Amino acid sequence: MKNLSPNWITEGWIDFEYKKYLLLDYLQEVSKQFDEKKLYPTLSDIISHHHYLQQLKENKEIVASAFPKQISKIDFENFKLQYEKLMIENKCIEELETILEFAIPQLQTTMNDGRELYASVENDLQIFPIGLVPVNPEFGYLFLARTGSRQTKVYEYQIALFENSTEMYRGIKVEYICTYTKSIANTYENMKSTIIKTEKKIFSPGTFVIESHEKFPLMETFLPVAKRTLVRYLYNLGK
């Protein structure tokens, strides 16, 4: 898929028609991805682009600082580099503002489409534990399967806590282990038992199945949405 540079709006030729062409060409590719029910990394990219342009619109100092700079003077006494900003004429800023006024609603519409797709995928998924849930299910196994399909993909998961200056949040790492074929003789319970005996890594692991009714692209949609679904499920269990 075609990518759009994070600084596409301030790179190169600052011209409304040119930037409009770049954006619409990119958004057309994004729409194709969403039509194919592929969410990641496309949705994350759209959100990042939209957030960045909103920042530019709300802070004109950021707009000015986003342009390229060249060294105009070196202050050896104070060891400072003084920069001469390029292309900050009023006409250029006005052109950029016109581009922002066009681009932000376009990105917003596409972002909303992606979020609607995400919500529909999320609503399609069903999660449930296999056996008892341990007191601390930060480590365990995740089974992914589509309703009616015999193939079950097994991942080892690990929940991690991250903290920044304002809040603490949960992340998840997964590692693919194998694919089982489900049958009357090989149920989810049998798969769990086999995994525990084979891997011998985790004592009393949490084991969860996430099933989808529809067929979603695994890496671009099913797995990333399933990971977030599991994190939220475990968070609610701990409340």
Hey, where are the domains in the chain?
16-123, 130-237
* Angle subtended at Cα 20 by Cα 61 and Cα 40, rounded to the nearest 5 degrees: 85
Q: At 100, give phi and psi (nearest 5°).
A: -60, -45
Q: What is the pTM of this model?
A: 0.82
Classify burial at 42, counting beta carbons within 10 Å of its beta carbon; exposed 0-12, middle 13-18, buried 19 or more: buried
Q: What is the pLDDT of residue 199?
A: 83
Q: What is the pLDDT of residue 64?
A: 58
Q: Can you tell me the distance from the alpha carbon of 146 to that of 172, in angstroms, rounded to the nearest whole number?
A: 22
Q: Is 121 helix (H, G, I), strand (E, B) or coil?
A: helix
165-174 pLDDT tens trace = 455 567 899 9
The beta-carbon contacts of 156-163 under 8 Å, at least 24 apart in sequence, are: 156/199, 156/201, 156/202, 157/227, 157/230, 159/231, 159/234
Q: Which positions of the chain have pLDDT values less than 70?
A: 1, 60-90, 162-169, 202, 239
Contact 157, 230 (CB under 8 A): yes
Q: What is the pLDDT of residue 61?
A: 57
Q: Can you tell me the distance from the alpha carbon of 85 to that of 112, in angstroms, rounded to the nearest whole number?
A: 36
Q: Can you tell me the distance from the alpha carbon of 144 to that of 130, in angstroms, rounded to the nearest whole number?
A: 12
CA 107 to chain centre: 16
Q: What is the pLDDT of residue 59?
A: 78
